[in-house]
Amino acid sequence: MQKVKVIGGGLAGAECAYYLAKKGIEVELFDIKPNKKTPAHTSDKFGELVCSNSLKSNDVFGNASGLMKEEMRLLGSLIIESADINRVPAGNALAVDREKFAEYITDKLKSQKNIKIIEREVTEISPDEYTVIATGPLTTEGLSTTIKNWVGGGLSFFDASAPIIDAESIDMENAFFGDRYDKGDGDHINCPMNKEEYLLFMQELTGAKRAELHDFESSAVFEGCMPIEVMAQRGIDTLRFGPLKPVGLTNPKTGRWAYACLQLRKEDAEGKMYNMVGFQTNMTFGEQKRVFSIIPALKNAEYLRYGVMHKNTFINSPKVLNEDYSLKENPKVFFAGQITGVEGYVESAGSGLMAGIYCYKKLMGEKYRVVPETTVLGALAKYITTENKDFQPMNANFGILPPLPMIIRDKAERKKQMAIRSLDKIREFKEELNV
């Protein structure tokens, strides 16, 4: 019987191990619990969640996370199966009873005859064994060192990131294209503010509610990547000499520099997504939307990814991973979960499921194609493995999907048609690969 080592019992590792075992593969599932825990662990069970609504929306046709969950349902996901069975009322969100959710996953893994659970830390990786590394954002120091050696030192430490905005939602009546002093390709979007708007923005920014940090994520960790709200507390004009510096940004509508000006930078080659330059933040998601809407160009902004701030390690996937989550330098070694640069629980589980599918096909010596990028599962894999000099983790969103062949002005209808296309492609993929 063929054998695979899966390292890590979080959502990605659990998903991967269960898929392989169901296909008749002998799986050795390694996890440091219960003998040892990272600071993020609280129980001895597999598949821990931080809160009951960690899995986010269940809206298939209007939300990319909901669509991704439906794709995973069609492919037989253990994680989504557990979530559906242990769901609690929460409107359109897929909220779960966390204890029952983790207990269901744990029982499934422990009762699967092809899975051998080994409760110890792994610090070395064999180049000759099929291995899936799904150790999450808090990979132990010993294994992190080994991974760094394997991927040429391309292991990053992620402090804080700025929000990413859907380009279509930017109010271009209150914005303009251009680079500082016209040096560059002119593809930044500039969002000017007058003095009154700036002062109101500063007032609301400094008083905004922040997300709670874990004990292992003390403020000292983030000195090299200061959140915008902390920077703002250093003085009323601090941001005008930093991320909101208007110097050199001449508004063609006025012929002048604004009192303050935010720059947005392309996050993708097509210009569908824009990053708020220098706006890393630890504000809650609701506060980000409220405060940033004071900037006129962002009054109706749709956020594809809110700014986040937490301790995280991830490999430089665009340089070292193939689209099937295998290492370019050693196709027997796969990565899955947040260590690949996917952001979020559902995204992590999805990558674990896909890594399991591809690993199985490779073990069987079968030719296979990766899931199409017109699906959320495929688009996310494409995103994290496409060259990007400013690579940062990404969650599921419609902005990473390729456009439809026809132009649909209505945003809700466009998302619905993208979802229909996605599910059609997933069904084709499932049938073709006999998933």
Question: Of the given ranges (4-13, 85-94, 201-210, 404-413), which has the lowest mean pLDDT?
Answer: 85-94
Last residue of one domain, picked from the residues 307, 340, 362: 307
Domain check: are 216 and 232 in the same one?
A: yes
Higher-confidence residue of 151 and 168: namely 168
Please state, in angstroms and rounded to a whole number, the distance separating the CA atoms of residues 354 and 339.
15
Are 34 and 44 in contact by the 8 Å Cβ rule? The answer is: yes
β-bridge partners, 334: 132, 326
| pLDDT at residue 327 greater than cutoff 70 | yes
Are 341 and 317 in contact by the 8 Å Cβ rule? The answer is: yes
Domain check: are 203 and 286 in the same one?
A: yes
Are 426 and 398 in contact by the 8 Å Cβ rule? The answer is: no
DSSP, collapsed to helix, strand or coil, labels residue 150 as helix
Domain check: are 137 and 170 in the same one?
A: no
| pLDDT at residue 142 greater than cutoff 70 | yes
Last residue of one domain, picked from the residues 289, 307, 325: 307
Please state, in angstroms and rounded to a whole number, the distance separating the CA atoms of residues 350 and 18.
13
| pLDDT at residue 135 greater than cutoff 80 | yes
Please state, in angstroms and rounded to a whole number, the distance separating the CA atoms of residues 289 and 30.
40
Domain check: are 296 and 363 in the same one?
A: no
The predicted structure's pLDDT at residue 359: 98
CATH code of residue 396: 3.50.50.60
Domain check: are 126 and 148 in the same one?
A: yes
| pLDDT at residue 139 greater than cutoff 70 | yes
Please state, in angstroms and rounded to a whole number, the distance separating the CA atoms of residues 142 and 122.
8
CATH code of residue 258: 2.40.30
The helix or strand, by DSSP H or E, that contains position 84, with its residue range, turns out to be: helix 78-85
* pTM attached to this predicted model: 0.79
Higher-confidence residue of 403 and 143: namely 403
Domain check: are 240 and 330 in the same one?
A: no
| pLDDT at residue 193 greater than cutoff 80 | yes
Last residue of one domain, picked from the residues 288, 307, 326: 307
Domain check: are 191 and 136 in the same one?
A: no
| Mean pLDDT computed over 317-339 | 95
The predicted structure's pLDDT at residue 324: 98
The pairing of beta strand 176-177 with beta strand 303-305 = unpaired
The predicted structure's pLDDT at residue 225: 64
pLDDT tens for each residue of 7-44: 999 999 999 999 999 999 999 999 987 666 555 555 67
The predicted structure's pLDDT at residue 155: 65
Higher-confidence residue of 182 and 3: namely 3
| Mean pLDDT computed over 358-380 | 96
- The DSSP result for 323-353, as a single string, is TTSBBSS-TTEEE-SGGGTB-SHHHHHHHHH
The predicted structure's pLDDT at residue 2: 86
Higher-confidence residue of 67 and 93: namely 67
The predicted structure's pLDDT at residue 405: 93
| Mean pLDDT computed over 165-171 | 94
| pLDDT at residue 205 greater than cutoff 50 | yes
| pLDDT at residue 53 greater than cutoff 50 | yes
Domain check: are 138 and 230 in the same one?
A: no
The burial class, CB within 10 Å (0-12 / 13-18 / 19+), for 181 is exposed
| pLDDT at residue 415 greater than cutoff 80 | yes
- Residues, the chain, total? 435
Residue 69, domain extent = 3-158+311-433
The pLDDT confidence band at residue 217, using thresholds 50, 70 and 90, is: very low
| pLDDT at residue 143 greater than cutoff 70 | yes
Residue of 54, 115, 44 whose CA lies nearest to 79: 54
Q: Name the DSSP letter for residue 135.
A: -
Higher-confidence residue of 214 and 361: namely 361
Domain check: are 149 and 195 in the same one?
A: no
Are 362 and 326 in contact by the 8 Å Cβ rule? The answer is: yes
| pLDDT at residue 191 greater than cutoff 50 | yes
The burial class, CB within 10 Å (0-12 / 13-18 / 19+), for 94 is buried
Domain check: are 334 and 194 in the same one?
A: no
Domain check: are 356 and 417 in the same one?
A: yes
**How many Cβ atoms from other residues are within 10 Å of residue 365's Cβ?**
6
Phi, psi of 260, rounded to the nearest 5 degrees: -150, 155
- The DSSP result for 168-228, as a single string, is GGS-GGG-EE--GGG-S-S--EEEEE-HHHHHHHHHHHHT--BPPPPTTS-GGGGTTS--H
pLDDT tens for each residue of 267-315: 877 788 899 988 989 899 999 999 999 999 999 999 988 988 766 778 8
Phi, psi of 220, rounded to the nearest 5 degrees: -65, -25
| pLDDT at residue 126 greater than cutoff 70 | yes
Please state, in angstroms and rounded to a whole number, the distance separating the CA atoms of residues 388 and 371.
21
The predicted structure's pLDDT at residue 419: 97
Domain check: are 301 and 369 in the same one?
A: no
User: Residue 213's Cα: distance from chain center in Å?
Assistant: 19
Please state, in angstroms and rounded to a whole number, the distance separating the CA atoms of residues 376 and 64.
7
pLDDT tens for each residue of 64-84: 999 999 999 999 999 999 999
What's the whole-number average pLDDT of the chain?
89
The predicted structure's pLDDT at residue 33: 77
User: Residue 209's Cα: distance from chain center in Å?
Assistant: 23
Please state, in angstroms and rounded to a whole number, the distance separating the CA atoms of residues 81 and 183.
53
| pLDDT at residue 213 greater than cutoff 90 | no
| Domains contained in the chain, number | 2
pLDDT tens for each residue of 344-368: 899 999 999 999 999 999 999 999 9
The burial class, CB within 10 Å (0-12 / 13-18 / 19+), for 16 is buried
The predicted structure's pLDDT at residue 182: 84
The predicted structure's pLDDT at residue 222: 47
